[in-house]
Structure 1
Amino acid sequence: MELWDLNLRHLYAAMEICDKGSISAAADAVNLTQPAITQGLVKLETQLGQPLFERHTDGMTPTPAATIFAPRIDAALVNIGSSRVTMAQMRAFLSVAEHGSYPTASAMSGLAQPSLHRSVANLSIALKRKLLERRGKGMALTAQGRSLARSFRLARAELAAGLSELDALKGKETGTISIGAMPLCRARLLPKAVAEFHKAYPESEVRIVEGSHAELIEPLRDGELDILIGALRDPAPGDDVQQRSLFEDHPVIIGRYDHPLRDQRSDLDKLASYPWIIAAPDTPLRMRWEHMFESAGIDCPDVPIECGSVITIRQILLESDFLTLLSPDQVAVELEANWLSTIGGPPKGIHRNIGATTRTGWMPTAMQRDFMQILDRASIT
């Protein structure tokens, strides 16, 4: 079923029935009549394709489906933050927020522009907040709008996870896992883990978004990504995310196979005399590279080219005397084919922790927990 077909008031009522054990007690909490709640609950159970409660003369008890779905509903409603919000308003606002204008939002969502305008305007009135402001031909989020968009995205992620868990309860191992992939994990760790995961869950969808930490951390916070895999940050980027180490990586100095320093004893002075291509400042690898020279009292070499793309770095190395610092896993094929070569021994003390970053309080589905276990195994083999 479509997530947007759900009715937030029906979900709120289901939560209250779980908590209070009867429709009559829930009616007072959600300000609906008992017949309205009964009718809404029947519709919700029909949409989900399974009962949420067992009916008894003295009340109602949650089924396994309700036990699974209730924490997701609760987390979604906490993020939404107001009982005055409707699903139509939430959908319309996210569509405009994500597409930047009413015409584009209409084209991408299939919702008519008047409906979008009406829903967003009513949401702004209900919450007493200015959410959007016109910028040229488009719309931009206000500060309050950006905060609300993040909350709504997290609510959407919780409900989507809940629907996936209900499908699993019916024997349908479906669902989506969205992964932010930073450069290092793309060479060996992530492909190995995803291949094993797909064998176990052939009907699931794996969505991989490549980028730098700076590009991926906000989508993780927004609930658009479930996991971010790559070099961990020290210190962690905030209390709203948590990091877990998978393995320690030891980068090496790389140059073309016939680089002038290949067969020489390469001290730091000689290494500093060559140009380098390396990741941007403030990335873990760049900071460790800078420390390698600074701790020896040597000025850092010139970095005429800053780049985090291994494909681009490889091609530049092949055609020049540039040097770089990379994990051997990232250029294993090139090293084996004698296109590139390690220069000197492994730099002392140069290492970085590679791991997984998730939102604090993230509740993975069973499928997502299995992926994390597979990721753990892939990191040690």
Structure 2
Amino acid sequence: MQPDALNLRHLAALAATARLGSLSAAAQAVSLTQPALTQGLAKLERQFDEPLFERHPGGMVATAAVQVLAPRIEAALAHIASPRVTMAQMRALVALADAGSYPGASAATGLSQPTLHRAVADLSIGLRRLLVERRGKGIAFTEAGRRTVRAFRLARAELVAGLSEVAALRGQETGRITIGAMPLSRARLLPAAVTAFHRTHPHVEIRIVEGSHAELIEPLRDGEIDLLIGALRAPSPGDDVSQVPLFEDQPVVIARSGHPLAKTDDVTPGLLAAYPWTISAPGTPLRLLWERMFEREHVPLPPVPVECGSVITIRQILLDSDFLTLLSPDQIAVELEAGWLTQIGDPPAALRRTIGTTTRIGWRPTGMQQHFLDALTKLVAG
């Protein structure tokens, strides 16, 4: 089941009934008549194909399914922050944001453009704020519109998590874990964690989104990515994310086998500065370590003719030239073992970066997501 099939008012009624333990109190809390609330709960029971509450003399007692689902509904409603919003309006606005146009949203959802226009217009009226405005022949989201889209995406992520947890109670483990993979994590850690997790959870889909921290942090904040794995940022990228260290990584200077410095015993920053470098963008942890390597010896920074974060591209540049780079040995383990690339000198002193996970503040992993985190931690612990 997808969240789009559910009614937000019915979900609010379910959460209120679970919280208050009384149909009459829940009906008052969500501004529904008691018969309407009862009908809404009955429809949800048909959709879930199982009872959601048990009637007792003391009130309504939530079943196990509701006990896991109700907190997710409460979190989703807190993100939405308005009882006027409908699921159809949420779907329309997020589809419009994803597609960037009404024709694109129509093609993605199968809804007509007039239907989408009407849903977004009604939503703006209900929320009393302009969400989308015309820009020439196209559209643009206002600041309020962008905040609303993020809130709706986070709400949907909570509902998807809740539905996954209900399915798990039935022994029907389903769902998806979406992982943002920064360069270092893609070398050994993430593949090993995914393989270990898949052995015990073969029916869970794992989606890996590759990119830099700058490319992945906003999808994480939007709820499109569950967690990031890679080099942590200092200072933290914001008070809305949490960074948890996993291990310390020691980068080394890398070049092709046969490089003029390959057989030099005492490799100094001065010698390293005499060659061109390919390194990741300014502001990244690896670039900051690279800069520190020269600055601590008062050596001017060497030229960086090729700024690059792709290990595949860097590898080929090194193989075809006298360029140098700074990488973790894990990122090019195969090339080092094959003798194509080599480490230049000793590892630069005191140059370490912290590798870990980044998640949203308040993110509550589902059972399967927690199992993946446990697999990751176990691998790091050895």
Q: What's the TM-score, normalizing by structure 2?
A: 0.98
**What does 1:247-266 correspond to in 2, within 5 Å?**
247-264=247-264, 265-266=266-267
Once residues 140 and 13 of structure 1 are traced to their aligned partners in structure 2, the CA distance between those partners, rounded to angstroms, is 35
CA distance in 2, matches of 1:334, 1:135: 50
Deviation, structure 1 residue 371: 0.3
Indicate the residue corresponding to 1:337 in structure 2.
338
What is the Cα deviation at residue 19 of structure 1?
Answer: 1.8
Residue 95 of structure 2 is aligned to residue 95 of structure 1: yes
Query: Secondary structure, in 3 states, of the residue corresponding to 1:244?
Result: strand
> What is the count of residue pairs matched by the alignment?
381
Alignment match, 1:132:
132
Matched, 1:320 2:324: no
Cα pair 1:99 1:105 within 8 Å, conserved: yes
Q: Write out per-residue CA displacement over residues 203-232 of structure 1, whole angstroms, 9 at most, x where no aligned residue.
A: 111011000000000000010000000000
Residue identity matched to 2:271: K
1:162 aligned residue: 162
Query: Letter of the aligned partner of 1:330 in structure 2?
Result: Q
Secondary structure at the counterpart of residue 27 of structure 1:
helix
- 2:225 aligns to what? 225
* Structure 2: stretches of 5+ with no match in the other structure: none
Which whole-Å CA distance do the structure 2 matches of 1:22 and 1:304 have between them? 69
TM-superposed deviation, 1:50: 2.2
Deviation at 1:136, TM superposition (A): 3.3
* Contact preservation (8 Å) 1:174, 1:201: no
What residue is the counterpart of 1:309 in the other structure?
310
Question: 2:347 & 2:381 partners in 1: Cα distance?
Answer: 21
For residues 51 and 365 of structure 2, the distance between their equivalents in structure 1, rounded to whole angstroms, comes to: 23
Q: Is the 8 A contact 2:3 2:160 kept in 1?
A: yes
One-letter amino acid of the structure 2 residue matched with residue 328 of structure 1: P
For 2:19 and 2:336, how far apart are their aligned partners in 1? 61
Matches within 5 A, 1:1-381: 1-264=1-264, 265-381=266-382
Tell me the amino acid that sits aligned with residue 270 of structure 2: D
* Partners of 1:262 and 1:341 within 8 A in 2: yes
SS in 1 for 2:107: helix
Name the SS of the counterpart of 2:301 in structure 1.
Answer: coil
Deviation at 1:140, TM superposition (A): 1.3
Amino acid at match of 1:44: L
* Preserved contact between residue 101 and residue 137 of structure 1 (Cα < 8 Å): no
Shift of 1:57: 4.3
Q: Supply the AA of the counterpart residue of 1:197.
A: F
Q: What is the identity percentage for the equivalent residue pairs of Structure 1 and Structure 2?
A: 64
Tell me, in whole angstroms, the C-alpha distance in 2 between the residues paired with 1:287 and 1:353. 13
Q: What is the deviation of 1:28? A: 1.3
Q: Distance in 2 between matches of 1:59 and 1:380?
A: 48
Q: CA deviation at 1:34?
A: 1.2
Query: 2:231 & 2:49 partners in 1: Cα distance?
Result: 42
Deviation for aligned residue 1:358: 0.4
For structure 1, the 5+ residue unaligned runs are none
Letter in 2 for 1:321: D
SS at match of 2:358: strand
After TM superposition, the structure 1 stretch with the greater mean CA deviation from structure 2, 21-30 or 144-153, is 21-30
* Mapped partners of 1:49, 1:300: distance in 2: 66
Indicate the larger mover: 189-198 or 58-67: 58-67
Please report how far the alpha carbon of residue 27 of structure 1 lies from its aligned counterpart in structure 2 after TM superposition. Answer: 1.3
